[in-house]
């Protein structure tokens, strides 16, 4: 692990202790700091570049998503109910043309790409996991093994998408810049990640502070960052996007108990009122040459 001395978004150096969980062998991170200047939540210390690369290349899918068919079926449901309609709403003023090219970074088993292919888009993607890439190719999806930065495309694409990827990377500014570099002028960059604040996390913080405890690690310990909407918007604009739209959202799971539904309904109502949720989506339009 390596210490972090500056915020990856604003460059601020006032990084204050935020959350911690017991360290156990095999995890990437166990403690977090929060930038006092912009509010970015940062794993502190952070896994090394080699540790991050090795984990997502060799271990991530085998540990968390060993059943590819089951993962695809589950993700299809979430994408149809949440991500796809929200993307369409956010890019509504500048939608991709029919048959547009979509490239997904960190595509996993290809659940999103197969949905987009059925809608008539020309799809391709990349992932660091050889297992995930092999499964995609078995399904006839054009996917290569690799990461961004590092991947190149034959010609600029209409849309570059990264869902639940930016929170894992070493440098989010370099990552978003490399995403934008894949896209033609006037094309789109789509980012999906967790929201740094939700009513449920606020309740967790309140309980911890009331009992004099440090809250446990906010999100999965394999995440390097937790973002707010303004962080994503800033990164997209700095990478050459002239228009950016963001929105928070939450999943509504099937088969929830009555008690859990009542609990989550209350928290979701607070989130809606405050403009937050469990997740964030940001869509940026890459500026055309005439507007730069």
pLDDT band at 253 (very low <50, low <70, confident <90, very high): low
172 pLDDT band, cuts 50/70/90, is very high
The pLDDT of residue 270 is above 80: no
CA 256 – CA 258 distance, rounded (Å): 7
The verdict on residue 2 lying in a domain is no
Q: How many domains, in total, are found in the chain?
A: 1
Encode pLDDT of 257-266 as tens digits: 565 566 667 7
Rounded to an integer, the average pLDDT of 25-45 is: 94
Q: Which residue has the higher pLDDT, 115 or 256?
A: 115
What's the pLDDT tens digit per position in 213-252? 889 898 999 999 999 999 999 999 999 999 999 999 987 6
219 domain residue, yes or no = yes
Is the peptide bond between 149 and the residue preceding it cis, with omega within 30 degrees of 0? Answer: yes
Which of the two residues, 122 and 291, has the higher pLDDT score?
122
- Residue 271, pLDDT > 90, answer no
On average, the pLDDT of the chain sits at: 91
- Distance CA(27)–CA(120), nearest Å, equals 40
Domain range for 151? 15-291
pLDDT of residue 203 exceeding 90, the answer is no
Phi-psi region for residue 120, left (φ > 0), alpha (ψ -120 to 50) or beta? left
* Letter string b/e over residues 83-122, b meaning 16 or more CB atoms within 10 A of that residue's CB: bbebbeebbeeeebeeebbbbbbbbbbbbbbbbbbeeebe
Whether 20 is covered by a domain: the verdict is yes
Enclosing H/E stretch for 245: strand 241-249
For residue 46, how far is the Cα from the chain centroid?
18
| Per-residue pLDDT band at 274 (split at 50, 70, 90) | confident
Whether residue 10 is contained in a domain is answered as no
Whole-number pLDDT of residue 291: 43
> pLDDT confidence of 204, banded at 50, 70, 90?
confident
Residue 132's nearest CA partner among 224, 53, 56 is 56
Instruction: Identify the pLDDT of residue 200.
Output: 79
Q: What is the pTM of this model?
A: 0.92
User: DSSP assignment, residue 244?
Assistant: E
Q: Residue 290: pLDDT above 50? A: no
- Residue (of 182, 171, 68, 60) closest to 125 by Cα position: 182
102 in a domain, yes or no? yes
CATH of the domain at 240: 3.40.50.150
Single out the residue of 241, 125, 120 nearest to residue 186, CA to CA. 241
Mean pLDDT of 133-157: 95
What share of the chain in percent tops pLDDT 90? 72
Domain presence at residue 5: no
The share of the chain scoring above pLDDT 70, in percent, equals 94
Assigned domain for 8 exists: no
Q: 202 lies in a domain?
A: yes
């Amino acid at each position: 692990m390596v210490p972090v001395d500056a915020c990856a978004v604003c460059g601020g150096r006032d990084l204050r202790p935020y959350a911690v969980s017991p360290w156990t062998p095999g995890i990437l991170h166990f403690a977090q700091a929060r930038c006092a200047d912009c509010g970015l939540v940062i794993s502190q210390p952070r896994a090394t570049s080699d540790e991050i690369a090795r984990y997502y290349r060799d271990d991530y899918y085998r540990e968390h998503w060993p059943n590819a068919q089951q993962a695809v079926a589950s993700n299809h449901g979430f994408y149809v109910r949440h991500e796809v309609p929200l993307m369409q709403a956010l890019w509504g003023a500048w939608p991709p043309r029919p048959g547009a090219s979509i490239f997904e970074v960190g595509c996993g088993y290809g659940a999103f790409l197969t949905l987009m292919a059925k809608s008539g888009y020309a799809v391709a993607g990349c992932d660091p996991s050889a297992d995930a890439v092999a499964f995609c190719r078995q399904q006839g999806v054009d996917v290569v093994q690799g990461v961004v930065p590092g991947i190149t495309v034959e010609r600029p694409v209409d849309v570059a998408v990264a869902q639940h990827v930016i929170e894992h990377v070493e440098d989010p500014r370099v990552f978003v810049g490399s995403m934008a570099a894949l896209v033609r002028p006037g094309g789109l960059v789509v980012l999906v990640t967790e929201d740094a604040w939700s009513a449920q996390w606020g309740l967790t913080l309140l309980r911890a502070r009331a009992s004099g405890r440090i809250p446990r690690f906010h999100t999965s310990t394999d995440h390097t960052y937790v973002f707010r909407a303004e962080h994503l918007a800033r990164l997209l604009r700095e990478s050459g996007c002239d228009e950016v739209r963001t929105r928070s959202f939450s999943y509504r799971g099937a088969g929830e108990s009555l008690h859990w539904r009542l609990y989550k309904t209350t928290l979701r109502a607070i989130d809606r009122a405050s403009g937050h949720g469990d997740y964030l989506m940001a869509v940026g339009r890459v500026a055309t040459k005439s507007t730069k």
